[in-house]
Amino acid sequence: MANTLVLTGRLVADPDRRELPSGTPVCQFRLAVDGLRRNRETGFVRVTSFGNGADAAARVLTKGWLVNVVGRLQEDAWQQDGQNRTTYEVIGEVEFLAAPRSADHDERIAYAERVADDAIAAAKHDPKIAS
């Protein structure tokens, strides 16, 4: 059974960007997803992305962006004050859908397009993908 999850929602705050000791970029943010809960209320989901996609997301995304996240659900369990605690997080790739209007909106869109064009060009030259 595959553990694949697709969510569409809006960022509730600007994403956080950091790097692993290996230099791999990491982007983390919270996503507001309508109808996620049983009573159709908005649910909030933590999302983490790694690699070049994470770098692009951290540079382009801001609060309010509408995005798709495709990834897997990861559970983290621990004990705190004698009680079992559990949290869930989506580890995946981010697809940009629609930006909120802002002063630097056009600049961010242009950057996102350049990143996509660079990724396509790199894929054409990658023998693993080209074959």
What domains can be seen in the chain, in order of their start residue?
5-100 (2.40.50.140)
Tokens 């569409």 appear where? 8
- Computed from CA positions of residues 33, 36, 37, 40, in that sequence, does the dihedral angle turn out positive or negative? positive
- Residue 105's pLDDT is 61
Residue 15 tokens, joined: 């994403």
Please say if the pLDDT value at position 1 is more than 60: no
Mean predicted lDDT score pLDDT of the chain: 82
Q: Is residue 123's pLDDT more than 90? A: no
Q: Which residue has the higher pLDDT, 123 or 69?
A: 69
Which pTM value belongs to this model?
0.69
Rg of the chain (C-alpha set): 17
State yes or no: pLDDT of 6 exceeds 50. Answer: yes
